[in-house]
Structure 1
C-alpha cells in the first residue's frame, strides 16, 4: 500500500511524535508498504492515511476525508489528545476521532478515557524498543546511585520532580539524578539551569540522541518517569527492554503499560512520596531487584515484531471497515 503519515513534529526533531512516525514508517516498509512521512498535507492520493495527534492533525484529517472518502484513515491518539485537547478543544479533537476508521491507543487503558462511542474503533499498540546489545551496568559509577529522567522538559512531564525529590533525601544518600532532555521554552531553560546551580544531586545532560540514551540507561540503576499525563511513553518500553527498574507516576498512561500490580508507582506530583520510593530503591536491593524482574517480564510486549503486527492489524482493520462503509 501507498501510505501517507502525518506528524506535527518536523524532520530532525527528537519529539516523541516524530520518533514514533519514523519508527512506524520503517516497520511498515519492512512489511512491503511505501510510506511518506509529512508535516503538511495538500490532498495527495494514497491507499491509507495515518495521522499522529487528533487535534494538531485535524485540518489534514478533514482534507483527506474530503478528498478521498473511500480510503482508510488511522489516527494515533497522543497523551495530550486524550487528557487535555479533547476537553480544551473538543470540536476539532472529537471530529478527528469521528473521521478515523481506527484509533490507535498506546497503552491498555485508553478506552477508559475517550468517549464511549469511539471505543469500538480502538486498537492497542505497544511502542517498541530494541534490546540493549551490551551488558547492563557498563560504565556505571559505583560511587553514585544514578537515576535517569528522560524526555523533553515540559509541564506534562513534570520534568524536575525527581530533582526536587532528591533534595529531600537523607544526607548520606548517593542518589544522582541525570536528566536528559531539551527544554520546551525559555522558562524551562531557566528552571533547569537554576536546578543545576542549586542542587548538587542533579545533572542536566541536555538533549541526547538515541545511542546516548541507550548508553545512559545501561549505566543507571533506575529510571523515573514523573509525567502528569502520558499517552503511552516509549521511554517506558525502552527501559523495560533494557531491564532498567522504573519508578513511575501513578497515572493511566503508565498503568496502561506497567500494569496494576507493578510495585514502583508514586502519586503524581508528590515529591515526598517520590523521595521515599527513591530512598527505598537505593537502600533495599530486594525491592530494586523486584522492580527489575517486573520490567523484564514486561519486555516481550515491547518488541518491534509485536509493534509491526499491531500496525498491520490496524491497517487491515481500517481497510475492512472503510470497505464495509462503501458497500
Structure 2
C-alpha cells in the first residue's frame, strides 16, 4: 500500500505538524505501507509512486494544506483522502477562513482529530467521518535525572507564539514570596524576534524565569524528568503531543481550560485554569508548592491517562483510519 503524507512543516522543522508526520510515517510503515512525506507545494506530483497514483493521501492541516488537498482530489479522484485537523484549523481558520477550511473537509473521505472534544466544535455533518488518533509518547529512559530538591522546576515546552500564550507561567511567578522555590523553565524556539525579545526581557526582569530556546528532544526529555510540574497555557490546541509526553512521564500538568486539553486530560482533571488568567495560574502554582497531596493527585490523574498514549495504541488507531477508507494494512 502506498501512502502520501502531506505536512506544511518542512524537513528539519521542530513544529508539531512535522513531528506528527515523522512519527506517523514510521507507524504506517510498521503497518506495511510505503510512505512518502512531502510538503503541500509538492502535491500532487510528489504523491506519485513510480508514476502511479498513491493508494491514500493523508494531509495534515486543513487550511495550510488546502491547495494540495484540492489538487490531490482532482488528480486522484478514486484515491481516499484523509485530512488531519490541527488546533489552528478548528479554533482559528474555521472562523477566519471558513471557505477554505470547509472545502478541505468536504474533499476528505475521513477526518482525523487528535483529542476527544472535537465533536463540540465541528459542523455535525462531518462527525460521521471523524476519527480520533491520540498522539503517543515514549517513557523516560532509565537513569533519567531526578527533580531537584533545591528548586521546584515548572516546565513550559512549546514554541513562543501567540497561540501558546507562552509567557503566562513566567508572569504567574513574578511576585512570589522570596522563600518560594518555584522556578519556570521554558523550552522552545521563538516564532519571531518579537517573541525572542519578550522572553529575554522577561528573564532580565524576573529571576524565577529561564528561557533555554529550542533544544533537541533528548534534552527536553531530561528536563521533563527534572521538573515537578508542567504548565500548558495555550489559547488553542488540537491535541498537543506534549500532553501525551507529560502523562507518560508521570509529570503533573497545570493546563488552560480549553477543548484540546480537556479532550486529552478529561473533564474531571483537577489542574485546569482559565485561559490567560495569570492570577488563577499563580494560585495553582502556590497550591502545588504548599500541598504535596495536590501534586500527587494530579500525578495519579495523568498516570491513569498514560495507556491512551502508547505507540501501539496510536498505530492501532491509524490502522482503523485505513480500514475506514477501505484499505487494509
Using structure 1 for the length normalisation, give the TM-score. Answer: 0.96
Give the SS at the match of 1:37. strand
Deviations 1:227-270 (A, max 9, x none): 01000000000000000000000000000000011100011100
Matches of 2:97 and 2:71, distance apart in 1: 19
CA shift, 1:42, in A, is: 3.1
- Contact 1:168 / 1:272 at 8 angstroms: preserved in 2? no
Matches of 1:99 and 1:55, distance apart in 2: 12
Matches of 1:170 and 1:111, distance apart in 2: 43
Deviations 1:208-237 (A, max 9, x none): 111111111001000000001000000000
Give the SS at the match of 1:319. coil
- Contact 2:5 / 2:37 at 8 angstroms: preserved in 1? yes
1:254 aligns to 2:256 (yes or no): no
Q: Number of matched residues?
A: 319
Deviations 1:275-299 (A, max 9, x none): 0000111110100000001100100
Deviations 1:145-187 (A, max 9, x none): 0000000000000000000001132332111100000000111
Using structure 2 for the length normalisation, give the TM-score. Answer: 0.95
Matches of 1:233 and 1:30, distance apart in 2: 23
Q: Which stretch has the larger CA shift, 43-52 or 17-26?
A: 43-52
CA shift, 1:132, in A, is: 1.1
Matches of 2:298 and 2:154, distance apart in 1: 14
- Contact 1:196 / 1:203 at 8 angstroms: preserved in 2? yes
* Residue in structure 2 matching 1:99, options 107, 120, 131: 107
- Contact 2:44 / 2:75 at 8 angstroms: preserved in 1? no
Alignment match, 1:17: 17
Matches of 2:242 and 2:199, distance apart in 1: 20
Unmatched 5+ residue regions in structure 1?
Answer: 321-327
Matches of 1:318 and 1:85, distance apart in 2: 26
How well do the aligned residues superpose, as a CA RMSD in angstroms? 1.0
Matches of 2:309 and 2:294, distance apart in 1: 23
Alignment match, 1:147: 154
Alignment match, 1:117: 125
1:318 aligns to 2:316 (yes or no): no
Alignment match, 2:185: 178
1:41 aligns to 2:49 (yes or no): no
- Contact 2:6 / 2:59 at 8 angstroms: preserved in 1? yes
Alignment match, 2:95: 87
CA shift, 1:135, in A, is: 5.2
Matches of 1:78 and 1:21, distance apart in 2: 12
CA shift, 1:319, in A, is: 2.7
1:200 aligns to 2:207 (yes or no): yes
Instruction: Tell me which of the two structures has the higher relative contact order, counting C-alpha pairs closer than 8 angstroms and 6 or more residues apart.
Output: 1
Unmatched 5+ residue regions in structure 2?
Answer: none
Where do residues 278-317 of structure 1 align in structure 2 (5 Å cutoff)?
278-317=285-324
Matches of 1:22 and 1:184, distance apart in 2: 21
CA shift, 1:41, in A, is: 1.0
Matches of 2:184 and 2:82, distance apart in 1: 39
Matches of 2:321 and 2:143, distance apart in 1: 35
